[in-house]
Each structure stands twice: as structure tokens, then as C-alpha cells.
Structure 1
């Protein structure tokens, strides 16, 4: 346990899994910062990897390589597209549970794009920007990001204006191929699941979130009156759900 950890919250945290927070599209590891701080203050071991956002297969392989090098068990927490990533990564032997936060949770053979198409388009769909990047192949790749002016309204309602402005201009784009990549495994079929629905989400339809959590037979689902970036607006509630999952598997 790290020096200065608040050990008084639990008599013995040595058996607790490492919490791995996986960010989604249009964000980076810093998007988890308010939740990360709370979990560290509770004395938990936490990792927040930088997801490349280049495609589901490669992103899952990268995150899994980190998870499998953890000395002990791991609890995966995925936000948005990060939910699709943990759905695949969760097959790793040391993963003991999955927490979905405003997230996708595809089934085997299903893509994020297919899930999205089954529900009315959120406001995000009309505010995406497409740009090319060198892919090393004969054709350039295509990145997807959110229009900077629309970002605060679409993803970050309730986030302080100065913070939303910084998040808007420091996005981590998602390669367009990721929307069509199919999940090769669905760890929610074999791992316990918890879910959080952002009821004011304008990026992923809240009904989509409710559907995938129900399909995964989540142990518990909470609804928060919050936007897509619920980790920024309601970090206490997110951290409380993660803590509940940790205590359940621990």
C-alpha cells in the first residue's frame, strides 16, 4: 500500500484488486482524475493507462498487456468506448469484475457502431469531425473527434467552463475503424458487472446504457443525473460504485 494511504477505511486491503480505469474516445487518462484521486485517498491501488484509441483489437491488446502484468487481481472500470475495451480485456485470468460507466458493452461479434445504430442518435452524432492521419499503409487513416465548440454542450454539461474548454482542445481522437471493429469476446458473460447510467448523456443514448447493463445482468445499476463526463461532474458517486465492486469481489 502506498505511503500515506488512508488505511483506516479498511482493516486489510492487501487482498483488494488493483483498479484499472480505462478512458474512452475524445478523452485521455486525465479525464478520470477526480475519481482517481478519491480512490487513491481510500488506499486502493490504481492504474489509469493511456488507451491508444486506434481500434478495438489493438487497444484491447495493449490494455490487456498492462492488466496481465499486475501482481494480483484486477477490477476493470471502463468509460464510454473504454467499456468496449474492458469487455474484451476482461477475459484475462486475473480480472475479477467489470464496472461500466456511461459505457458500451458489446457482445461477441457486435461492434460499437451496431450498438449505437439500434438506438436514436445522440446529439454527439451531428457534431463529429473527421480528419486524416498517416497510417503507414497505402491509404491514410481517419480520426474522429468532437467539434471543439460543441464539446462542452455534448460531452461536458455541468463541467466548469474553464475545464470543459481545456478538455475540448486536448481531445484524444478515436480512429474511425474502432466503430466497426467487432468484439471478439464478452467478459461480462463470465465476470460480475456493475453499471452507471448518465441520464443526461448526449454522447451515448442512456437507453443503450440501460440495455447493455441489463443484458449483462449487472449486479447493480445506478442512474446519475449527469452528462457523459460523469467522472468529472459526479466523481463521488462513480468512486462509490467502484468501491462497492471492489468490496464485493474482495
Structure 2
């Protein structure tokens, strides 16, 4: 097996892998191997199974980085044998048996709660499912208030929705129980209450960094996020990445 680590970037709800567009060059330029798969956003267990399948096909150690809902996904997929650690970005660090709704329910709602839009999609042989997205007009303020307005406008109309099913689905595993973790709290987050992030990270025993950022911390502060990932790589694999630039 290769000893060269790979960073797998797992995007969240209402976004896709392009949400890592500023972070990826930082990592590549410092010699880090990166994979940023498209998460189906259909169910927590299904999405985690897909990411786990990606991880299993990588030769060598893997550091999982999950943004937002992607944090819940890596919490489950991170039990794969070659995963060495977890990095949460404005994310959900769920406990075993806990759902997104349960974790969020213990804290006051963020601005996201009043900005959600629900639409139907067909499910073969079953009742229609429900997709959840963010109101396009409210997206910049709720999701991306410190991002270039032109980019925020594009992100608003190119969302990858999350099914309503995923909000109530319990996590069958919590990889942070056996894997070291790092957590970035976006202290100006209007999508997830920052207290939700702090609580989950503290419970997981993560090394926590607070950044005054919107929910899209990897777009507004890519250098700081890359530094945290490089640190996690060094601690979990011994890989010393060069600072980009």
C-alpha cells in the first residue's frame, strides 16, 4: 500500500464540489493529493456508503474533510480502515444514533430555518420524495455573506439539494470515537448555529479553530483551512506538505 496520503473533500448540502474551488489549488500547490467527489445528497447512509466506496479504492491513507452536511457523511464513512483522521468545516459531528435534526434541535434555529424551500422529486415505485434547498434570493445572506457577490449569485442557482429524508436519518457510526479530528467553527455562520458546531466538536474531542466566516469558510478563508488540513496530515500520516505560494 502507498504511504502517500490523499485528502478527500466531501461537500455538503446546497453545494457541490466546486465549493472547494479555492481550497483545492492551495492543497495541490503544496503537494497534497486531492479527490473531491460528487455527493449524491440522497440519504445519510447512502451518501456515506458512496464516500466509503471512494475511500476504499484509494491506495494509501485518507484524510476525510467534510463541509456542513458533509461532516455528517464523514462521521459515518470515516470508519473505513485507511481513514486516518477527520476534518470538519462548519460541520455536523454527529453521535452514533443521532440525526441532523436531533443535533440541531438542541439549539436555537439559524437564519437557514426560514429560508428553506421544499420541492418534490419522483421516486420509482414509491411516493415522491422531498428535496430541500435554500431560497435563491436569501442564499447570499444566509450561506455566503463574505463571498464575492457575483460568485454567490452563481452558487445560489446551482445548488445541489438535500433530501428531507437525510435530516432525520440517524448516524449508524461515529468515526470520531476512534479517529483524531479537527473542527473549524465558522463564528459568523448563518446556516448552522455556530453553537451546534462547537458542541459537536467538543464532544468529539476535536482540535478546534474558530474563524470569523460565513458558512462557506473554505471559499472565504482557503489558506487558513488548508493550513489546518496540512496540520492534520502531518499528525495523522507524517506527511509534511509545503505551504502553497
Task: Give the count of matched residue pairs.
Answer: 236
Where in structure 2 are there 5+ consecutive unaligned residues?
Answer: 238-245
CA RMSD of aligned residues (A): 0.8
* Distance in 1 of aligned mates of 2:126 and 2:134: 26
1:46-81 CA-partner distances (Å, limit 9, x unpaired): 000000000001100111000000001100000000
Corresponding residue for 1:227? 214
Q: CA deviation at 1:17?
A: 1.5
Which TM-score applies when normalising by structure 1?
A: 0.93
* 1:78-89 correspondence to structure 2 within 5 Å: 78-89=66-77
Corresponding residue for 1:129? 117
* Distance in 2 of aligned mates of 1:192 and 1:137: 42
Corresponding residue for 2:54? 66
Contact 1:16–1:246 (CA under 8 A) maintained in structure 2: no
1:146-184 CA-partner distances (Å, limit 9, x unpaired): 000000000001101100000000000001100001000
* Distance in 1 of aligned mates of 2:158 and 2:130: 18
* Distance in 2 of aligned mates of 1:61 and 1:161: 35
Matched, 1:196 2:184: yes
Corresponding residue for 1:236? 223
Q: Which runs of 4+ in 1 moved over 6 A?
A: none
Q: CA deviation at 1:203?
A: 0.7
Where in structure 1 are there 5+ consecutive unaligned residues?
Answer: 1-13
For the residue of structure 2 that corresponds to 1:26, the secondary structure is: coil
Which TM-score applies when normalising by structure 2?
A: 0.95
Corresponding residue for 1:18? 6
Contact 1:112–1:179 (CA under 8 A) maintained in structure 2: yes
* Distance in 2 of aligned mates of 1:47 and 1:150: 30
